[in-house]
Structure 1
Amino acid sequence: MSESVKRTFVVWVEDQPGVLNRVASLFRRRSYNIESLNVGVTQEPGVSRMTVVTHADEDTARRIEANLYKMVNVLEVDEITHKASIIRDQALVKVKAKRETRAEIMQLCEVFRARIVDVAPESLVIEIAGAPGKIRGLVSVLEAFGIEEMVQSGAIAMTRGTEAKMERRNQPDIKVA
């Protein structure tokens, strides 16, 4: 049995009511934990793109892909874990910021290429986008100032270069036990 690793699936689906619920239910029924889920529109009308992150070994990943392909509204599945890809999260962090600490916080934002999107008398809201490790790094240094509130999106992912763009419309030859 292969090792369980973080897997990233890009799933193109018909933009129809209930599709997200059906995909999430597939994971729930088979006791696969979804670590991150993000859904958005694509350049193609009527098609949405899901990015699903989960931990799975090689066999489980193949079963997930095969089961997704069995769903009527799923158009394409691409497990991009081992492909050259770009994976990004986004976060908003509200941090305590007194007059004495604002300059230091602003310098940290420059280092992490984050932006200040709101300024209040006692706080700043910082927006950061990037790899999950970059976001964890910024949050880690901001903890010293006092984080009042934080929200982080699920991952979005895309393969680099000319790799897959919803080209296969038919289920691959994957056997499910």
Structure 2
Amino acid sequence: MIELFLADADSTDQLGRALAQTRPAQAVVHLQGDLGAGKSTLARALLRALGVQGPIRSPTYTLIERYPLAVGEAWHLDLYRIGNAGELDFLGLDEATADLWLVEWPERGAGALPPVDLVVALEMDGNGRRVRIQAHSPNGDAWVQQLRETAHLQGLPSP
């Protein structure tokens, strides 16, 4: 597990770049935290670092936004408005071919989502955010190890 303090938007962008730099070819990431904790901001920073051009919209009302990557596709889901996982049937997630899943409010889609590799939990802490990154699969373990070794996290303090 990695714990960090993100003092500002630049720190969040730095974490997004680090996640993009070390990302495995295929991964499922759960973004957890209260409203306003920075889940969409982090997802946007990660996608931008992966080369996504143009607007990166929050999927709050569309539930899912799809973005082409240099290789493959990223899906950004926001399940806040979902009452239960059965409501996801119409999205065609069972035929999913995304290489990167970024899922906000994943607990609302329990049972309908692929197995998680990495959980990124964000919470408000004064004017900044505290983040905890935890692996939940061998793929996630390798990702966390890569993150520990990357220079992109230098300067981001532990809480």
TM-score range, shorter chain: under 0.3
Give 1 or 2: higher helix fraction: 2
**As a proportion of its length, which structure holds more strand?**
1
Structure exhibiting the larger radius of gyration computed from Cα positions: 1
The one of the two structures with greater contact order (alpha-carbon pairs below 8 A, sep at least 6) is: 2
What TM-score, normalized to structure 1? 0.24
TM-score, normalised via structure 2 length: 0.26
